[in-house]
Structure 1
Amino acid sequence: MNHLPTFGLQYMLDENIPWEQVEPGVKRKVLSFDERIMMVKVAFDAGGVGALHHHHHTQISYVAEGVFEISIGAEKKILRQGDGYYIPPNEIHGALCLEAGILVDVFSPIREDFIQDK
């Protein structure tokens, strides 16, 4: 794992980390990670969708910019810049971007699927 560019990166300079297109209207940057924790920046165009899904990771996210409709389980809430949310392991969740924005996601353990084949 140590060969990956952001493994253990202590200072995350945005301009030095490339974007990865995830879905139409959604791109991400893996900012830094180690064996236990990972931080990811996700940019959404208005109308961009983080489809409903689940994973065994604990996730905490911060709305850095924009407006999002966040679904966790059966509940939906509109969140804006400065808001955040917590997703326990295996909970179905997703996001709809209402106004272009950025989420900062933290995962534990790391999302190995985000760094495979890099």
Structure 2
Amino acid sequence: MENIQIKPTIFFENDAIGWEKIDDFIDRQIVGFDDSVMMVNVRFKKGGIGYLHYHVHIQVTHIAEGKFEVSIGNDKKILKKGDSFFVPSNVEHGVVCLEDGLLIDVFSPMREDFIK
């Protein structure tokens, strides 16, 4: 019996990937994943809220555009384009968009709940 290997997608061209509308202020675009890691672009309009929540996944986020008020546990800070933040597993966190922006989220392991 022949061992068949499925080649994962390794290139993700922005123009070829759709955006999922989360609400009137937030859109999400999944740009790469396997079982161990996932990268997601999250586009915010000013006033958008990533409500406080937590998950088992470790999260690292880079602010590619805009300005956000970021809450992680008991800490709160205003971060802008070029800044990043780290969220340990099961720590409550959220953001408020102060200027239109784009977050690049990386999760480990991948967010199965984002794949429908």
TM-score with structure 1 setting the length: 0.90
* 1:3-58 C-alpha deviation (Å, 9 max, x unpaired): 9xxx9432221111100011220010010101110000000000000000000000
Task: Tell me the equivalent position of 1:75.
Answer: 75
What is aligned with 1:10? 10
**Gapped regions of structure 1 (runs ≥ 5):** none
Amino acid at match of 2:96: L
Distance 1:36 1:67 in 2: 29
RMSD over aligned Cα atoms: 1.4
Say which one has the larger Rg.
2
Within-5 A mapping of 1:36-51: 36-51=36-51
Question: How many pairs are equivalent?
Answer: 111
Alpha-carbon distance in 1 for matches of 2:8, 2:75 = 35
TM-score normalized by structure 2? 0.92
Identity %: 47
Deviating 4+ runs (over 4 angstroms): none
SS in 1 for 2:100: strand
State the distance in 1 between where 2:94 and 2:60 align.
Answer: 13
